[in-house]
Amino acid sequence: MAAGHTLLSEMNTDKQALTNIFQFLKHQNLKETEEALKKELGIHVTTVSAVPTSSSCSQPEEVADSYSKDTTHPRSYSTASAPVNATILVDDEEEDIEPEEEEEEEEGPRSWPGVARSPGPVQQQSFGPKPVIPFQVPSMLTSPPGPLLYKPPASFPMPTIFTLVPPGLLAHSPNGLINRPLSFPSRSSPPLMSTASGLQSPPALSPLTAPPSAILSKPINTGPTTTPANMNGTLLSPGTQKNTITLASIPDEELTPAHHELKAFAEEFKTKRIQLGYTQGAVGQSLADKGYSNFAQSTISRFEQMQLSPSNAATIMTVLKRWLYEAENPDMVLSGEGQVDPLGPPRKRKKRVVYTPHALSILNKYFLKEPRPNRQIIEMVAEELDLLPEEVRVWFCNKRQKYKTSNGEVEETGPDCPSPFSPQSDVTTSPPPAPVQKNCTKFTIEELII
């Protein structure tokens, strides 16, 4: 504690932060938590050298692993608009202090080669001094003892950068989204799911609409990957076509404590979501509204069913846990830098493009002729189909991948050089058999013109 005081004395504003925290705890009658926080501060602050401008948090291995693949989700950040405050490190263990920038990387939209994109929604603005105090909430706080039965295990800690926003200050939020107390979704407002309405592109070619000549045969031994092994959805994640392990598929006896915690939270989340009157789609919408990483209804559904990999579930849990806390405590918004996602700035995942049957047909024809088109061809195809070159490139990548998995291992000829096709294969999109091409001879554009 003494060390904590030392640190705090150096960082003026954190006194205010601590005051707020303790007031909050008192207000919530969280005596135990308060004590624990004090205790924890006393312990952990000693491990910190001053962290004047950037905050940091720890990620024990299991969770760190879950983050490891997504570098766009910084695990720590400090505020941009609030006066520079020190952040108190609460968790211990390994540290990784991310270089500032994160928020700047704050992504302008992902850049697509050769294509100028309009910037995404501005997540951070300069509002001048803001009455929010960046603070790293201790893990026990991130899972409020009161409303939440779930207690975060050490192996799945919450991201712990938060800003406590006193209720009275909520109205000062300048952007209408940030720091707004969570409100119940209006039943009259269009739910998230309703976006899947008439404005979408036509569905992809169905097997029946594909020209007979375009129907490939499936390999005699279709691997286990072409079809979900379990159609009832209890063993394999539907969206998981490979050997991805989902939490739901792990036998009880093999579940680690961390897995149990995830499952427990998923159950609790579902229960409380329903109690709060939110549909899965509304949760996704609310996440987006609040500036968090948003997820589609389907992802929320999969989370609740634990049809996600453990690491993926852990990642999503951090967001949902925070969302749930705010939903249950509308007067006390936990926010880091306004409403920054605990995993970093909201993801800017490119909106999924649904290709028209016509586009798919053309793409498949090109794929047949040249599964590995060069840049020039890609650009030509993109122009013809009014797509981005990057979209075309990705389509070919995915197509090769799908082809390879659905047709078994490709030998000499490789997926790039379609081998004589065995009867039946990917019926929806695969092109008709092509002559075996030794050495994957590239086609010229002229040859590719259909």
- Footprint of DNA on 271-290 (CB under 7 A): 274, 279-282, 284
Instruction: Supply the minimum distance, in Å, between the C-beta of residue 70 and DNA.
Output: 5
- Taking CB under 7 A as the binding criterion, the range among 41-49, 55-63, 168-176, 348-356 that sits at the site for DNA is 348-356
Q: Which two tokens stand for residue 10?
A: 């150096």
- Taking CB under 7 A as the binding criterion, the range among 134-142, 216-224, 256-264, 344-352 that sits at the site for DNA is 344-352
Q: Is 134 helix (H, G, I), strand (E, B) or coil?
A: strand
Closest to DNA by CB, 38 vs 372, is 372
Q: What are phi and psi of 351, to 5 degrees?
A: -60, 135
| Eight-state DSSP code of residue 268 | H
Site string for DNA, 3-22 (x = CB under 7 A): --------------------
**Number of residues located near DNA, criterion CB under 7 A:** 85
Q: Quick one: three-class SS letters along 290-336?
A: CCCCCCCHHHHHHHHHCCCCHHHHHHHHHHHHHHHHHHHCCCCEEEE
Closest to DNA by CB, 166 vs 223, is 223
Closest to DNA by CB, 138 vs 371, is 371
Residues contacting residue 129 through CB under 8 Å, at least 6 positions apart? 82, 83
Q: Is 267 helix (H, G, I), strand (E, B) or coil?
A: helix
User: Between residue 236 and residue 255, which ones bind DNA under the rule CB under 7 A?
Assistant: 236-244
Residue 307 vs residues 160, 245, 311: alpha-carbon distances, Å: 26, 9, 11
Residue in 123, 249, 318, 428 binding DNA, rule: CB under 7 A:
428
- How far, in Å, CA of 67 to CA of 28, rounded? 32
Q: Does 256 bind DNA (CB under 7 A)?
A: no
Instruction: Supply the minimum distance, in Å, between the C-beta of residue 65 and DNA.
Output: 10
Site string for DNA, 372-391 (x = CB under 7 A): xx-x---------------x
Residue in 177, 400, 413, 443 binding DNA, rule: CB under 7 A:
400
Sheet holding 133-135, edge to edge: 133-135, 162-165, 333-335
Closest to DNA by CB, 1 vs 115, is 115
- How far, in Å, CA of 346 to CA of 306, rounded? 22
Q: Does 404 bind DNA (CB under 7 A)?
A: yes
Q: Does 27 bind DNA (CB under 7 A)?
A: no
Q: Does 69 bind DNA (CB under 7 A)?
A: yes
Q: Assess contact for 87 and 50: CB atoms under 8 A.
A: no
- Taking CB under 7 A as the binding criterion, the range among 77-85, 142-150, 226-234, 442-450 that sits at the site for DNA is 226-234
Residue 395 vs residues 38, 61, 66, 357, 378: alpha-carbon distances, Å: 54, 35, 27, 14, 10
Q: Which two tokens stand for residue 150?
A: 């779930």
Q: Quick one: three-class SS letters along 37-70?
A: HHHHHHHHHHHCCCCCCCCCCECCHHHHHHHCCC
User: Between residue 142 and residue 171, which ones bind DNA under the rule CB under 7 A?
Assistant: none
Closest to DNA by CB, 110 vs 151, is 110
Instruction: Supply the minimum distance, in Å, between the C-beta of residue 208 and DNA.
Output: 12
Q: What are phi and psi of 333, to 5 degrees?
A: -90, 125
Q: Does 337 bind DNA (CB under 7 A)?
A: no
Residue in 38, 272, 347, 442 binding DNA, rule: CB under 7 A:
347
Instruction: Supply the minimum distance, in Å, between the C-beta of residue 48 and DNA.
Output: 26
Instruction: Supply the minimum distance, in Å, between the C-beta of residue 219 and DNA.
Output: 15
Q: Locate the DSSP E strands across 122-197.
A: 133-135, 162-165
- How far, in Å, CA of 440 to CA of 446, rounded? 17
Residues contacting residue 449 through CB under 8 Å, at least 6 positions apart? none
Residue in 37, 182, 216, 296 binding DNA, rule: CB under 7 A:
296
- Taking CB under 7 A as the binding criterion, the range among 21-29, 50-58, 195-203, 320-328 that sits at the site for DNA is 195-203
Q: Does 193 bind DNA (CB under 7 A)?
A: yes
User: Between residue 302 and residue 321, which ones bind DNA under the rule CB under 7 A?
Assistant: 302, 304-305, 307-309, 311-312, 315-316
- Taking CB under 7 A as the binding criterion, the range among 2-10, 197-205, 215-223, 250-258 that sits at the site for DNA is 197-205
User: Between residue 95 and residue 124, which ones bind DNA under the rule CB under 7 A?
Assistant: 110, 113
